[in-house]
Structure 1
Amino acid sequence: MSVKQQVTQNSEVDERLAALMTNANAIRAIAQAVEGTIGPKGLDTMLVDQFGDVVITNDGVTILDMMDVNHPAARMLIKIAKAQQEEIGDGTTTATIMAGALVSEGVAQVLKGVPVAKVIEGLRIGVKKALSVLEAKTIQIKDIRDPLLKQVALVAGRENEDIAELVVQAAILMGQEKLRDPSFKLAEIIRAEEGAENQVVPGVIINKEPMNSEMPKKLGPVKVLVIDDALEPEEVEDEALATEAGFTRYLALQEEFRNNIKKIIEAGVNLILVDRGVDAAAEEFLTDHQVMVLQRVSNRELRRAGEHTGARLLKRTGLKKELAELEKYTGSAREAFLDEKLEHVRLLGGAGKAEATILVGASTEEVVGERERIAKDAASAIQAAVRGGIVPGGGSIELAIARHIEEARKDVRGMAAYGLDCVIAALKKPFSQIVLNAGFNPLEKLGDVMAAQAESGLDSLGIDCDTGEVKDMGQLGVFDPALVKKHALKAAGEVAEAILRIDTIIKKKETKPHNDVKGEDFV
């Protein structure tokens, strides 16, 4: 091979590695943005926008969501981390850190001369083995009152005792069957309010006040009508109003609407929840009859109120139904009242499904958001633990899994074994970062714990972040949901494989939007 050919070949290799290095650096930058927050001694991150507004948080997904990111590889990682948040509600920091470690180790192996295909092959084998070991070591939660659930909430809730107690209380109230329902998310029933007292409200909170001060502030018993529409007469187009027939129809619709409102009163309804606006004449009539009306209620709150009271959501045209039929759409509750301090209405003791709302108090407006994020993490962790069991935390279970993969490495032939090394390194990363954030030497503590686990056979051994001593995480009450670990490992593997497979970056040409395409373009 001539010198010129060799230089050309080296140049082509450098170009392919340049794409890999560029993407890997972007992934590492994202991982570094959140790694300082992990563990009981993790610190906060300050995010500042162009107007000087500040958010201070320890929550990984909030940091990722608010970061100004342009690099496509970085956006890929953030997208997958958000998918984990949507599915499980926690573990985005762990997933991001492990993805960063997998990519870094993968690049290191490629630079040593290991083919990318072999790295990916080993990575797949390692992730599959890790998930298998994790499944075998999972402790299932059989009783919703298991005290281990509170420990899970404490760890996820950054040791906020009051928040842990709230979410456990709410979980018990909702029941194990509800928590296992994939369509239900315990984190969605959380509200943080400045000046509120911590409590679990056995019902639904509607974040609205009655339409006017003359409406009742307290009702009991309550008969509820939920209108997923505007409480207004059906509309007639302006063009139609200009005709005699159109105007006649307009008058008929107005009369029909007045009769429908009277029908609501005849049905004994004293609380109406409306998705959109309310006609002024209807408001006055309902006020005179001491009906509490809440307008522009969010769709989620409408549906929760309907489920809790047994009310069926109704469109405005449904008000035409006969009285007996209309009554079948109403629901009932023990009481409803306005909390004037917090400016919302509480609907309690519904005849339908059990509902609860976790109300988290905050001392100032600045900490409301962070208190809510902490509570949502704790609630998501509890639900994930009920659905998929728990494992020892503090990075200990990842180290135990890494030991198992190291033992299995000898059975993997060829260069795919180097891909397993990437998985082993990534599994050690959460523990090392937790220890580093606590102020200890991660290399030293990693060696201590790995040796102690191997000698004792206890997979739950880790580091006490207060003392730096090797301790049993189970005895310390440090547990994590197994689903969080499982999804974090899967997400990290998906990101790493996707990044490692890219060896060329090409800028796309600009394309015309569909609405700009002209007929002759198809000729």
Structure 2
Amino acid sequence: MSFQDNTQEVDEKLAALITNSNAIRAVASAVEGTIGPKGLDIMLVDRFGEVTITNDGVTILKQMDVNHPAAKILINIAKAQQEEVGDGTTTATIMAGAMVSEGVGQILRGVPVAKVIEGIKIGIKTAQKTLEYNAIPITGIDDINLKNIALIAGRENEDIAELVTKAAKLVGEEKLKDKNFKLKDIIMARAGAENEVFLGLIIDKEKLNSQMPQEISDTRVLLIDDALEPEEIAPEALRTEAGFARYLAMKEEFKENLKKIVDLNVNLVLVDKGINDEAEEILTDAGVIALERVSRKDMEKVAEHTGARIIKRLGLNKPVEEIQNYIGRAEKVYEDEKSKQLRIVGGKGNPMATVMVGAATEEIAGERERIAKDAASSLQAAILYGIVPGGGSIEIAMSRELEKQRAKIKGMAAYGLDCVILALKKPLAQIVYNSGYNPLEKVEEVIYTQTEKDMNSIGINCENGEVADMVELGVLDPARVKSYALKAAGEVSEAILRINTIIKKRDDATAAQKAPQESPIATGEMDF
């Protein structure tokens, strides 16, 4: 291979790295204008003209029309962060963009990729330790900082912070510390609704028949994980005498099962699939409220709240005494005529709260629901893992610690550490820029003041541009959100910097269609 060929190969590999870096940077640029109290919104428009207006990072990333594989890696990691901790995707994306860009810059200057990645790993690990050291534990469900957490994550919507905080108190600290429970799952928003928090559940379904009761007290609940109709029988079986007799027996059995439901004084029936006309008529005459096609998720919530056990259709063949054990209870169930939703209040199982967020229009309802879910996720994360100073201040504190460690690192891995240091300065720089101030000036001012006062909570008050203690201002973030954002940014950077060649995969389906019908062994032709 000639020197010229070797140079061309190196250039091609760097071109792949630069292309990937540009894709990551483009995605980061799309969301960086939304961060901080002065962040702006993004308008997303689909091919049908439907509009979504939001500054929620993960919503923007999920709905962006992205084809580049490197950009998709970043988006998938952001989605994973949203699923795990419910917030912080914008911070993670911005840091990943800065980390990858600086990493590529170091590689173009001659630093080996392996050394850059080694330094990034050291930097992430050291920063995580600094974060853990600075975490402030929550003292309990009445800790005043929880309201501030909800307010910051809720983009300073006072009413949403109030709703989420109230819901957390209704649910209780023990439930919030259950990692299988997600506070965000109890939140919904509706156009025209009033802000509300109550102990109970909302099922977003209308009752099956308008003649069914509007409200029932002393509710007895039966949950059927199937269709409420006779079992089906094959058409060919009906042509035989035995098959037709079986069909008649099944219809009679079904009627008996409906009679059991009525005799057990069940007055609320939720069904996973459909309810046939006969069952609808019998239940309506008996004064039962019935809902069909209720989601599995809603069925499980109702089961937990009322103490009911979900039963299969065949389970109705059991004796009445056994079916009795499947019935749940609640103080009251009623249909909200305006919203066409069913409410279950005062279940005898585990306490469950519901947060209803009101909005003027459907578009605004979607955004307010996203904001409330972020606030709920952050509040729960704070209870589980503690809090840290927000507003980009804790990232600056981490970068200062890495600056101290840099002199102790031998070799070129120090250049990888620089990538993390730069990325950690980026959130504050972007928050300040979005607020109308000079980011370079303000970042250096915060670094100087933190060092001089030995206070890691110093940041910038975005209202006046002055340095301030973020803890005193109530600008706080869950430690877990920051930790996961840092981890996600590091994973994206390592994954992207490792790629030095992009190869388009063969389409196996197309290749199979084009392949000759003869066996390659028979024709004596083999591809390698």
Matched, 1:318 2:324: no
Partner of residue 155, structure 1 = 152
Give the aligned residue type for 2:34: T
Residue 263 of structure 1: aligned partner: 260
* 1:27 has 2:24 as partner: yes
- Please name the residue that 2:238 is paired with: 241
Give the drift of 1:241. 1.2
The 5 Å alignment of 1:502-521 reads 502-512=499-509
Alignment partners' CA distance in 2, 1:254 and 1:293: 20
**Does the alignment pair 1:412 with 2:409?**
yes
Deviations 1:327-383 (A, max 9, x none): 000000000011001110100100101101110000122211001011001001001
Match of 1:294 in 2: 291
TM-score by length of 1: 0.97
Amino acid at match of 1:97: I
CA pair 166-8 structure 1, distance change in 2 beyond 3 A: same
Structure 1: which 5+ residue stretches go unaligned? none
Instruction: Write the distance in 1 (CA, Å) between the matches of 2:516 and 2:5.
Output: 44
Question: 2:487 aligns to what?
Answer: 490
Q: 2:83 aligns with which of 70, 83, 86?
A: 86
Q: Whole-Å Cα distance in 1 between the matches of residues 481 and 520 of structure 2?
A: 50
Q: Secondary structure at the match of 2:505?
A: coil
2:73 matches 1:76: yes
Deviations 1:36-74 (A, max 9, x none): 000000000011111211111111100001000000000
Matched residues in 2 for 1:236 and 1:137: separation? 66
Q: Deviation digits for residues 281-311 of structure 1, max 9, x if unmatched?
A: 1110111110111111111111100110000
Q: Structure 1 residue 79: deviation in Å?
A: 0.4
Task: Give 5+ residue unaligned stretches, structure 2.
Answer: 522-528
Q: Is 1:219 aligned with 2:216? A: yes
Q: Secondary structure at the match of 1:46?
A: strand
Specify which of 367, 374, 394 is matched with residue 377 of structure 1: 374
Residue of structure 1 aligned with 2:136, choices 136, 139, 150: 139
1:472 maps to a residue whose letter is D
Which residue does 1:357 correspond to in 2? 354
* Aligned twin of 1:254: 251
1:8 CA displacement: 2.6
Whole-Å separation in 1 of the counterparts to 2:517 and 2:301: 49
CA distance in 1, matches of 2:86, 2:208: 35
Amino acid at match of 2:456: D
Residues 225 and 19 of structure 1: CA distance in aligned 2, closer, same or farther (over 3 Å): same
User: Is 1:481 aligned to residue 478 of structure 2?
Assistant: yes
Task: Give the aligned residue type for 1:354.
Answer: P
- State the match for 1:54 in structure 2: 51
Q: What is the TM-score with the length of structure 2 in the denominator? A: 0.96
Q: What root-mean-square deviation, in Å, do the aligned CA atoms of Structure 1 and Structure 2 show?
A: 1.6
Structure 2 letter corresponding to 1:292:
I
Distance 1:247 1:194, change over 3 A: same
Between the two proteins, the alignment pairs up a number of residues equal to: 520
Aligned-partner residue type, residue 323 of structure 2: L
Distance 1:434 1:496 in 2: 22
Task: Give % identity.
Answer: 61
Equivalent residue number for residue 105 of structure 1: 102
Matches of 1:453 and 1:329, distance apart in 2: 61
For the residue of structure 2 that corresponds to 1:203, the secondary structure is strand
Cα distance in structure 2, aligned partners of 1:214 and 1:101? 62
Which deviates further from its counterpart, 442-451 or 503-512?
Answer: 503-512
1:63 maps to which of 26, 40, 60: 60
Higher mean alpha-carbon deviation, 230-239 vs 388-397, is at 230-239
SS at match of 1:426: helix
Residue 201 of structure 2 is aligned to residue 197 of structure 1: no
What is the distance in 1 between the residues matched to 2:277 and 2:18? 64
How far residue 514 of structure 1 moved from its aligned partner, in angstroms, is: 12
1:395 alignment counterpart:
392
Q: CA distance change for structure 1 residues 183 and 520 in 2, over 3 Å: closer, same or farther? A: farther
1:196: Cα distance to partner? 1.0
Match of 2:524 in 1: none
Which of 325, 329, 337 matches 2:326? 329
Secondary structure class of the residue paired with 2:339:
coil
Give me the whole-angstrom Cα distance separating, in 2, the residues matched to 1:131 and 1:102: 16
Could you list the per-position Cα deviations for residues 77-110 of structure 1 after superposition, in whole angstroms to 9, with x for gaps in the alignment?
1000000011111111111111101100100101
Query: How far apart are 1:200 and its partner, in Å?
Result: 0.8
- What amino acid is aligned across from residue 375 of structure 2 in structure 1? A
CA 1:112 to 1:313, structure 2 compared with 1: closer, same or farther past 3 Å? same
2:159 matches 1:179: no
Q: Name the amino acid aligned to 2:272.
A: D
- Find out whether 1:42 has 2:16 as its counterpart: no
Letter of the aligned partner of 2:232 in structure 1?
E
Look up the equivalent residue of 1:218 and give its one-letter code: E
> How has the CA–CA distance of structure 1 residues 396 and 331 changed in structure 2, closer, same or farther, with 3 Å as cutoff?
same
Query: Could you say if the C-alpha distance between residues 385 and 515 of structure 1 is closer, same or farther in structure 2, counting changes exceeding 3 Å?
Result: farther
Structure 1 runs of 4+ with >3 Å offset: 513-523
Deviates further, 505-514 or 235-244:
505-514
Q: In 1, distance between residues paired with 2:192 and 2:403?
A: 53
Cα displacement (A) at 1:451:
0.1
Distance 2:315 2:468 in 1: 64
1:446 maps to what in 2? 443
Q: Which secondary structure state, in structure 2, belongs to the residue aligned with residue 405 of structure 1?
A: helix
Q: What code does the residue aligned with 1:74 have?
A: A
Over 3 Å counting, the alpha-carbon distance change for 1:513 and 1:356 in structure 2 is farther
Q: Which residue of 1 aligns with 2:4?
A: 7
> In the alignment, residue 184 of structure 1 is paired with which amino acid?
F
CA distance in 2, matches of 1:364, 1:69: 29
Displacement of 1:9: 2.7
Give 2:338's match in structure 1, choosing from 334, 341, 354: 341
Counterparts in 2 of 1:68 and 1:350: CA distance versus 1, 3 Å: same
